[in-house]
């Protein structure tokens, strides 16, 4: 980890020494405090403080070319407590984003620890290949990936992505197996405009590592894996979209050798009061030995309601349901914007089967009913601009 950061910082310094143009430096950050109480868990009380400081540097070469750099850390202090019984604490410091980017009029390339995100779905996302965004988390905190991402934008709004990743291990999205950390991953995506919407085709290759599985499935240090993704989105008065992933593993992994994941979704804003926005999605997940063999199938539905109560207040309700084990997640969130602080008050119920939604934040592992409060402060710090 330290070696990666050193290499990226060296590249950044070389860029600064090479460039002589307009330079802009910003430093800001986000501080948040969370308190969670879930009586059916032991320990039942969780509190945490997270700080994400971010430094950015922009070097403008001319009217169409620039270099920019972002360095962001994740400082997380958390504590679990069982009232009148026990108390444990934990402190973590890790890089959150560290990348360098060169961009021109229709092209950009970004190198380092970064967030890669695409697709049309909102809640149930088969194309969540490179992050762990939890729809219950209002801050959308997610780990990044180490790699290179380049994008080219055509004048007709077609765009092509090409990426290569290395040094990533943790499962992402709906993965249940890790990546082999030092085996390269490569992929590409082409996104096309179509009447009243857009359509995209994506491909990714990685080498998985199944040795950590405790399920009795075959153990492989290097298991080649191919993914093909297709997604589209249209505005037809109501929003309509779909996401599809076909996953093929090139060694026998039982019913998980091949998988098909499809999400179909829609949204509409009803003219009620300030406008009630409703998002609905349904996901079908199948697995088998062959491409279209169905040895098991799972169905998950999710609906989110969003309503602005006033200029400073918003209320949202998320419901998701697994039709296979008849378990549901309910998440009610009331948001209020103070002058400098954003507050979230949440009431929720998570089933024992917590994989109804992708889990990005550890607090969403709590089972049963619970109450959560989050306070968020975003600050702007040093800003400097220099013309050389």
Distance, in Å, from the CA atom of 348 to the CA atom of 361, rounded to the nearest integer, reads: 15
Q: Give residues with Cβ within 8 angstroms of 106, minimum separation 6.
A: 152, 153, 154, 155
Q: What is the pLDDT of residue 355?
A: 60
Backbone angles phi, psi at 318, to 5 degrees: -115, 125
Burial class for 279, CB neighbours closer than 10 Å (0-12, 13-18, 19+): buried
Task: Per residue of the chain (388 residues), give pLDDT as tens.
Answer: 555 555 555 555 555 555 445 788 899 999 999 999 999 988 899 999 999 999 999 998 888 899 999 999 999 999 988 776 777 888 999 999 999 999 999 999 999 999 999 999 999 999 999 998 999 999 999 999 999 999 999 999 999 999 999 999 999 988 989 999 999 999 999 999 999 999 999 999 999 999 988 777 889 999 999 999 999 999 999 999 999 999 999 999 999 999 999 999 999 999 999 999 999 999 999 999 988 899 999 999 999 999 999 899 999 999 999 998 888 999 999 999 999 999 999 999 998 765 666 666 666 778 899 999 999 999 987 666 665 4
Q: What is the pLDDT of residue 81?
A: 83
Task: Report the half-sphere exposure of 361 (CA within 13 A, side-chain side).
Answer: 20
Distance, in Å, from the CA atom of 374 to the CA atom of 383, rounded to the nearest integer, reads: 28
Q: Which residue has the tokens 């290499």?
A: 7
Q: What is the pLDDT of residue 359?
A: 62
Q: Could you give the C-alpha distances from 32 to 84, 145, 190, 203, 337, in angstroms and in order?
A: 26, 23, 37, 36, 14
Q: What is the pLDDT of residue 356?
A: 62
CATH fourth-level superfamily of 2-387: Porin (2.40.160.10)
Secondary structure in 3-state letters for the chain: CHHHHHHHHHHHHHHHHHCCCEEEEEEEEEEEEEEEECCCCCCCEEEEEEEEEEEEEEEECCCCCEEEEEEEEEEEEEEEEECCCEEEEEEEEEEEEEEEEEECCCEEEEEEEECCCCCCCCCCCCCCCCCCCCCCCCCCCCCCEEEEEEEEECCCCCEEEEEEECCCCCCCCCCCCEECCCCCEEEEEEEEEECCEEEEEEEEEEEEECCCCCCCCCCCCCEEEEEEEEEEEEECCCEEEEEEEEEEECCCECECCEEEEEEEEEEEEECCCCCEEEEEEEEEEEEECCCCCCCEEEEEEEEEEEEECCCCEEEEEEEEEECCCCEEEEEEEEEEECCCEEEEEEEEEECCCHHHCCCCCHHHHCCEEEEEEEEEEEEEEEEEEEEC
Distance, in Å, from the CA atom of 1 to the CA atom of 11, rounded to the nearest integer, reads: 16
Q: Where are the domains of the chain?
A: 2-387
């Amino acid at each position: 980890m330290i070696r990666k950061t050193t290499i990226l910082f060296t590249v950044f310094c070389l860029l600064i020494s090479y460039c002589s143009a307009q330079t802009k430096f910003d430093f800001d950050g986000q501080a948040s405090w969370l308190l969670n109480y879930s009586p059916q868990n032991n320990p039942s009380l969780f509190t945490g403080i997270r700080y994400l400081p971010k430094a950015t540097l922009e070097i403008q070469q001319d009217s169409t070319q620039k270099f920019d750099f972002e360095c962001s850390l994740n400082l997380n202090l958390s504590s679990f407590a069982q009232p009148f019984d026990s108390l444990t604490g934990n402190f973590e410091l890790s890089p959150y984003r560290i990348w360098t980017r060169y961009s021109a009029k229709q092209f950009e390339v970004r190198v380092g620890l970064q967030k890669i995100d695409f697709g049309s779905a909102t809640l149930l996302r088969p194309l969540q290949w490179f992050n762990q965004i939890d729809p219950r988390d209002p801050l959308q905190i997610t780990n990044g990936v180490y790699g290179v991402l380049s994008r080219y934008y055509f004048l007709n709004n077609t765009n092509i992505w090409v990426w290569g990743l290395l040094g990533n291990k943790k499962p992402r999205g709906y993965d249940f197996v890790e990546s082999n950390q030092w085996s390269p991953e490569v992929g590409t995506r082409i996104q096309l405009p179509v009447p009243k919407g857009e359509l995209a085709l994506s491909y990714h290759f990685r080498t998985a590592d199944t040795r950590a599985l405790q399920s009795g499935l075959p153990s492989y240090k290097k298991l080649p894996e191919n993914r093909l993704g297709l997604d589209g989105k249209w505005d037809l008065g109501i929003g309509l979209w779909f996401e599809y992933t076909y996953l093929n593993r090139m060694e026998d992994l039982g019913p998980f050798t091949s998988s098909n994941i499809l999400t179909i979704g829609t949204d509409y804003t009803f003219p009620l009061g300030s406008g009630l926005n409703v998002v609905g999605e349904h996901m079908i997940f199948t697995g088998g030995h062959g491409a279209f063999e169905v040895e098991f199938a799972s169905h998950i539905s999710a609906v989110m309601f969003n309503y602005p109560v006033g200029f400073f207040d918003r209320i949202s309700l998320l419901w998701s349901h697994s039709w296979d084990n008849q378990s549901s997640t309910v998440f009610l969130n009331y948001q209020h914007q103070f002058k400098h602080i954003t507050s979230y008050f949440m009431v929720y119920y998570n089933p024992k089967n917590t994989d109804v939604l992708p889990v990005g934040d550890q607090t969403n592992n709590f089972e049963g009913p619970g109450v959560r409060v989050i306070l968020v402060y975003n600050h702007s710090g040093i800003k400097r601009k220099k013309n050389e």
